[in-house]
Amino acid sequence: MVDFLTGKKHIHFIGIGGSGMYPLAQILHSQGYYLTGSDNNETATLDAVRKMGIPVYFGQRAENIEGADLIVHTAAIMEDNPELIAARNSGVLTVERSELLGLVTSWYSKAFCVSGTHGKTTTTSMLTHILLAAGIDLSAVIGGKLKAIGGSGRAGRSEYMVCEACEFVDTFLKLFPNISIVLNIDRDHLDYFKTMENLKLSFSKFCKKTTDIVIANGSDANTMEAVSASGTAARVITFGKTPDCDFYPENIDHKADFLTEFDLMRHGELLTHIAIHVPGLHNVYNAVAACAAAYSAGIPVEALREGLDKFGGAMRRFERLAEIDGVTVVDDYAHHPAEIAATLKTAKEMSFRRVWAVHQPFTYSRTAMLLDEFVRALSIADRVVLTEIMGSREKNTYNIYSKDLAAKIDGCVWFTGMEEVAQYVAANVQPGDMVITLGCGDIYKAADRIIEILKEKETH
């Protein structure tokens, strides 16, 4: 590919505090580039950027780009953003974040790229833990915050890199994976892909771009179809639920609410015993995928066990936030029906009196296209509370509202604002209940507010 960083010295990031931008800023800063950035929201990530010595402008204005010879922006930046308009009018090369991430992955000879509709952040985080346990000074680009690296990214000096490979608008086709993982392929982003066949075709192209090893979910028909059709020259290794896969779990034991143990099997023989401190069968398979990738790339067995034993989950992935007066509050990023179902089934198998699902639907297209699947998934919970749909990048051309979803779920209530949601939940929960906020928008704010209200009640 064309190395558009050649000859560049000053790189400006529009939206530098974003979880996807921060790791790239870390890596480029470590390579000696002079960086500046801007953002509209004060966050802990922005503080971390400033501590690296990178000047950050608060608020996005045309003059912020002065002196830059490359400008990077996130896909979330709106077309009418004054800084983006100025960048495009300046004649200075302006690229979207995924273009830069693609170039960066080409620098590493051991680039692990983790793809799939569900489980990318957790599996990438698990893989990061394993490589750290092996003593590898890796670089990482993760879609969520991981305590072990103090955020969503890490700049290392080895040949190893781990990153998420997101299929949305074919972003992952810009990457250069040496080792890729395909966790699963499910109906999502159909506003872009239109059909499952198109979606599987994109995953096939991703596998074909992989140079060394494809770690594929042998228990997922869509994944195996995509891999088989790819014609990849890479070695294909499978993980999954059963012994017909190269790697699989046996003797799964849910020892406690947040501890699961299993035997990691390879070709019918015990490789090692694994303990993970995150609940759910889906996380067992995420762990098997991470182990399969690491072991196949030459990482010793001891690091698999040690790395996962220290893994307590990524932030916003079944993250236990608080227990107040017998009420447990958990926050989870799940926003697709399959993810919500997996999370709620896990919760229902735990020792709680009732499980509350507090969900913020994300995008009108997904809500409209998968409405019945959302109904089935959310109905697993004992009580369901909805916020209004977060449209994000979309306009509501689908004429879909949360009330339409609520009407199909027994006993479901919905509110327009986070405060109303929090007040309702806090007023109606009882000791022994678990409350799970679900969604990839800002539903975590409701979790924070529920905790505040419950603490206030506890002190009175």
Is the Cβ–Cβ distance between 150 and 127 less than 8 Å?
no
pLDDT for residue 1: 62
Is the Cβ–Cβ distance between 68 and 36 less than 8 Å?
yes
- The residue count of the chain comes to 460
- pTM, full prediction: 0.81
pLDDT for residue 434: 95
* Distance in angstroms (rounded) separating the CA atoms of residues 122 and 341: 17
pLDDT for residue 460: 67
Is the Cβ–Cβ distance between 8 and 33 less than 8 Å?
yes
* Distance in angstroms (rounded) separating the CA atoms of residues 138 and 124: 12
pLDDT per residue of the chain (460 residues) written in tens, 0 to 9: 678 999 999 999 999 988 889 999 999 999 999 999 999 887 778 888 999 999 999 988 999 999 999 999 987 788 889 999 999 999 999 999 999 999 999 999 999 999 999 899 999 999 999 999 999 999 999 988 888 888 888 999 999 999 999 998 899 999 999 999 999 998 777 788 889 999 999 999 999 999 999 999 999 999 999 999 999 999 999 999 999 999 999 999 988 767 899 999 999 999 999 999 988 899 999 999 999 999 999 999 999 999 999 988 767 777 889 999 999 999 998 888 988 998 999 889 888 999 999 999 999 999 999 999 999 999 999 999 999 999 877 889 999 999 999 999 999 999 999 999 999 999 999 999 999 999 988 899 999 999 999 999 877 6
* Distance in angstroms (rounded) separating the CA atoms of residues 271 and 250: 11
pLDDT for residue 381: 97
pLDDT for residue 119: 92
Q: What is the DSSP string of 96-137?
A: EHHHHHHHHHTT-SEEEEEE-SS-HHHHHHHHHHHHHHTT--
Nearest CA among 141, 114, 177, 138 for reference residue 24: 141
Distances (CA, A) of 174 to 11, 177, 201, 318: 20, 10, 15, 30
Q: Of all helices (H) and strands (E), which one includes residue 80?
A: none
Q: Which two tokens stand for residue 268?
A: 């019918």
Going through 183-246 in order, the beta strands assigned E by DSSP cover 213-217, 235-239
* Distance in angstroms (rounded) separating the CA atoms of residues 212 and 98: 22
pLDDT for residue 15: 92
Q: Which two tokens stand for residue 149?
A: 């690296």
Distances (CA, A) of 442 to 233, 244, 445: 41, 41, 6
Report helix angle 120-133 to 281-296, nearest 10: 50
